[in-house]
Structures are given as C-alpha cells and as structure tokens.
Amino acid sequence: MSDRLKDLNGLAPTAKLPAYDRSKLKAGILHLGPGAFFRAHFAPFTDAALAATGSDWGIEVASLRTPDVADNLTAQNGLYTMLIRDTSGTTAQVIGPILKAHVAPRDPSLLLSRLEDPAIRIVSLTVTEKAYGLDVRTGGLDLTHPDVAADLANRHAPRGVVGYLVEGLARRRAKGVAPFTPLSCDNLPSNGAVLKRLVLDFAGRVDPELRAWIETNVSFPSTMVDRITPASTDATYADAERLTGRQDLAAIETEPFTQWVIEDHFANGRPDWDKAGVLMVDEVSAYEKMKLRMLNGAHSLLAYLGYIGGYEYIRDVMDDDGLAALARRQMNAASETLDPVPGIDLEQYADELIARFANKAIAHRTYQIAMDGTQKLPQRLLEPATEALAQGSKAETYAIAVAAWMRYALGIDRNGKAYELRDPRAEEIATLLADVPRNGGAVSAALFTLPGLFPKALTHNVAWTEDVANKLDILIQDNRLPLF
C-alpha cells in the first residue's frame, strides 16, 4: 500500500495538480459539512478560481457530526483526489484549497473561535436539508428538532448549524467585527432566504437586538448547485491510489458536469468564482427551481421506482426503456411549471439530464437518493404537482412518483425483506402505517395525513389522490415493477 497523500511531491503524472502556490493561501472561508458533495463541487470551483486569478482564498472545514472525513483530510494536509468518471474513462485531480479540518464535537470552542475570527469572511454550508431544523409547516424553526432545542436552551455552547451561526455572529457584533456571509449550498428552495429566516427566528428568541443587527448587516445569498456525486467506495479509493500513486481516504468521485449559480450579494468579499465558470446573478430562483423540479424530481422518481424494482444504481434503472421514458416525461411535465430560465434551453437541459443519469461510469445508488424523502418531496414533486393541477394537467407522473415514495415508505422490499427508510420522520410514518391494510387506498389515505407534508390542494383533489391510490395498489400487489 502506498503512503498517504500528504503533499504534491512525486505524485503520478496522470494526476492533475493545483495550479497555484498553496503556501500563499489564507483561510477566508469556513465550510460546515465537508462531505462528498462539498469536495466534488464547492472546493473544486474554488480550486479553479485560485488557478485562474492567483488569489489567496483558502478554506477551513468543520464537521458538526462524524469525524471520519475531517480526520482523513487532516492526515492529508487538506489534499484529496477528485475522480471524474464518464464512459471514456476516469481522470484524477488533486484539490488543494483546504488548509485545516476541525471536528466540532471534540472542541466546540475552537469552531466558535474560527467563526469570530475577522479573517473568516464566508461561512458556507452543505449539511443536508434535515440539519437546518426547518419546520415545513410554519417555515420557521422546528422547536422540537434536537439541535434547535438544545441550542436555544444553551445558546453560548451550540451544537447545531443555526446555533453556531447565531453565536458566531453575536461574538463578532460584540467585538465590532464585520459579519461573515453565510452561504447555503444545500438543496433547499431559496436556501439563502430559508437560512436567513431560521437565523433571524433563532436570534429573535435569544436577543432581539442581535436579530435586528443581523437583519441589517448580514447577507444570505441563495445558490443553485448541481453535480451528481455518489458515495465513495473501495473502487474510489483504489482508483485514486492508482492514478496518484498515493493512498487517499478522502477521495471522491463525480461526473464531468458541474454547475453553480450564486446570488452575488456578499458583505465581505468572495473568491473569483466567476472566473471558474460560476454564474453570478442577482436572483437564483429560476435556476434553482429548474434543477429541483427537472433533475431532482426525476431523480427521486427513478430512485423510488428503481429501489422497489430491485435496481441498485440509477444507471441500471436507465437501462429499462420504460423507466427512462418515464423520467423524460417527468422532466417535460416539470418544465411546464417553470418560467423561462435565462440562457437555458429546457429541452436541451432535459437531454443532458437523461445522458447524465445513464452515465455508466457513475454508480449512484437508488437507496442513497431515496433517503430523507419527507425533506425532499415538497420542493421536488409536491409543489410542482400542485401547480400542474392548477394549470389543468392531470399530473400523472407526479402521481406515479408519490405512489412510488409511498410504496418505498412501507419499508419492505418485494421479497419481504425490511430496510431502513433513513428519513427524519421514519417513526411517524411507521406509526401511521402500523395497522393499515396493505392496499393502495388504505396506505395512501394514511400517508396523506402526515402533518405538514402534502398541501391541501393535492389531498383535496379527489381525482389525483385516487390516481395515486390506484398506482400504489399496483406497486404493492404486483411483484414485478410495472411500467406506466
């Protein structure tokens, strides 16, 4: 086994290396949640910006939960390999902007000290939707969320993302330090506006004057991020070692396509991301809605149908001509709910999505995409379904997708084997379904009552709910995966 990837000396010539002097970087960004998507998207765009302009925007990262990624990055001086896979082969690029990695639960005071440091001008986030503590029914804080409840009770020793942001901003205000710009990169609609609302809600509960200061002085840009990034596997690590000549336990793999749209509202500067292909705009909502509805909505549809049909990867689902055609129908249906998107041909965008889903080099598990459904369904499927029905559509592909999620929510595969839903509301779902007959009408009726998930415009539409029930009944009763 090779030595760990710790420096850039003597790496295999097949690997692309950072095109700038890492020793000149200074930490200007603190990123919370250094998972695979951050390493396949945010950090490479920053790497490209550094190469393009020679600026000094380095990144520190912090994990709010598990230590593995941060520990591996620490052992490798922040370096890691990004593999780009397509049908022509696999290439390797060593990414270099990360300077330090922290594990917040080990030393919360260290993370707080970084948040109040004037050198940190951006605090970015990829912590997944469920970490925000958003109450989908009110749009504000979920006061029952464990992190939210703990942080409101002990605001100066936070453990959740909103608690850390508020405490960091409070400390900067107390010291007369300019605020950082919080930058959400999670798949939430209007993610910057959502984050602002939650931060202001939290701050208002602990210090109304702090809330007013944040509202006046802190920018919360929204973003749209897009790059398919499967979980790393033994094959990822083996290929990274083969292509770099070093062992790399922080390696990730991704597709060639990447897209980032950011609202250009930063209070204290930013990297030259626009020189690295990032689209800097005044308003991101049109791009964000396009991605959530066309890409993510179709992805969820394929994940649920694929998983219950016995397909492990999205690429395998796309080998089924009927399911591939259904994905395209869903994209077309989603596009009809969209306003024009500047610079984007939606038909061409759908063609690109189909090709990306079918990429044989990307092993994106249906089970991975299927997780956290109650957090994802509203923006991906339920909101556009509501709009489609209002426009006079039958919203049939949305009924298929919802029926597929409901079949998945039963937690039993077609061979009778149980699996974990991996959803923050899994216990609620199990309770609702505990004594319900296993037929489409009964199961759908139960799940339609899950508080705060389905809008009344859907649950009160008799024709559409009957369509969901009928399609769900087919999925429950038929051991084959039916084609719609």
pLDDT in tens, 321-349: 999 999 999 999 999 999 999 889 999 99
Q: Is the pLDDT of residue 480 over 60?
A: no
Position 127 scores a pLDDT of 96
d(CA 449, CA 433): 11
Position 31 scores a pLDDT of 98
What mean pLDDT comes out for the span 315-322? 96
Percent of the chain with pLDDT over 70: 99
d(CA 467, CA 393): 13
Express each pLDDT in 264-284 by its tens digit: 999 999 999 999 999 999 999
Which residue did the predictor score with more confidence, 120 or 129? 120
Position 188 scores a pLDDT of 87
Q: Is the pLDDT of residue 373 over 60?
A: yes
Position 297 scores a pLDDT of 98
Position 1 scores a pLDDT of 72
What mean pLDDT comes out for the span 432-444? 97
What mean pLDDT comes out for the span 442-471? 97
Domains, in order of start, for the chain: 15-281 (3.40.50.720), 285-477 (1.10.1040.10)
What mean pLDDT comes out for the span 39-66? 97
What is the average pLDDT value for the chain, to the nearest integer?
A: 96
Position 484 scores a pLDDT of 55
Q: Is the torsion defined by CA of 38, 40, 43, 45 positive or negative?
A: negative
What mean pLDDT comes out for the span 379-385? 97
